[in-house]
Amino acid sequence: MRKNLQKLVYRQQINKMVAYIQHHLSKPIRLEKLADIAGFSRFHFHRIFTAFVGETLGEYTRRLRLEKGCLELLYTQRPVTEIALLIGYETPAAFDVLCSYLTKNNLWSKVGVCLSIYPDDLNLTPPEECRYDGGFVLKEGVDIQPEGEVQIQTILGGKYAIFLHKGPYETLWQTWNAIYRDWLSASGLKLRDVIPYEVYLKDKQKTKPEDLLTEIHLAIE
């Protein structure tokens, strides 16, 4: 009973930190501030956060910023500089390049869904060295040429297991964990050595967090 109560208290404190992060993506996220909000020892903060959230603080913050930036570009008319600052980038260079490319080539009307790709294994690669690719899927038949930092990336075909996550992006880690912890072992299937990715199906600006839909795609043999 006491153990369950302590776990509940930890969860409540973690929720306070998550709420703070979500509302301060445009600013530096400081470890000391989060530890104070939660009332955790700074020496144990990282382990507690990772145990409950499923990602390190750096991984979690980086993913939220990437997802927010992609959705802002796709569904709002905000200037690129404003979006970059909104999600905590001191320079809007990467977003500016992508947006300028789409505008220059008159491609906005041909943009489909927004997605995120994680080329690196977060369990093997240090968070500061992980790459996070954000992009848009262009509609079929659109022919474009790579230019500078904007590149074409082809997602390999074949069989994919597709999982639908309903709810806020902040709880996506729960679905990812359930897939690897529960579904994979019970399915008897093997994963291919292909990068997984997320596809965002709803306009965040027009959809309640609990109604957001995200597909998780895992390549299987």
**Statement: residue 108 has pLDDT above 70:** yes
Across residues 161-168, what is the average pLDDT? 93
115: phi then psi, degrees, rounded to nearest 5: -145, 165
Report helix, strand or coil for 158.
Answer: coil
Cα 189 from chain centre:
25
* Predicted TM-score of the model (pTM): 0.57
Q: Is the pLDDT of residue 38 over 90?
A: no
Closest of 73, 70, 145, 60 to residue 104, by C-alpha:
145
pLDDT of residue 162: 95
For the domain covering 54-219, report its CATH number: 3.20.80.10
Tokens of 30: 């400081």
Q: Is the confidence at residue 17, as pLDDT, over 80?
A: yes
Residues 178-200: pLDDT tens digits?
888 788 878 888 888 888 888 88
pLDDT over 80 at 86, yes or no: no
DSSP code, position 206? T
Cα 169 to Cα 62: distance, rounded to the nearest angstrom:
13
The sign one gets for the Cα dihedral 51, 57, 63, 65 is positive
Give the per-residue pLDDT at 76: 66
> What percent of the chain has pLDDT above 90?
7
Sorted by where each begins, the domain ranges of the chain are 54-219
Distance (Å, rounded) from C-alpha 161 to C-alpha 219? 6
Q: What's the pLDDT at 3?
A: 52
Dihedral sign, CA of 213, 197, 172, 182? Answer: positive
Instruction: Work out the pLDDT band at 159, boundaries 50, 70, 90.
Output: very high
pLDDT band at 166 (very low <50, low <70, confident <90, very high): very high
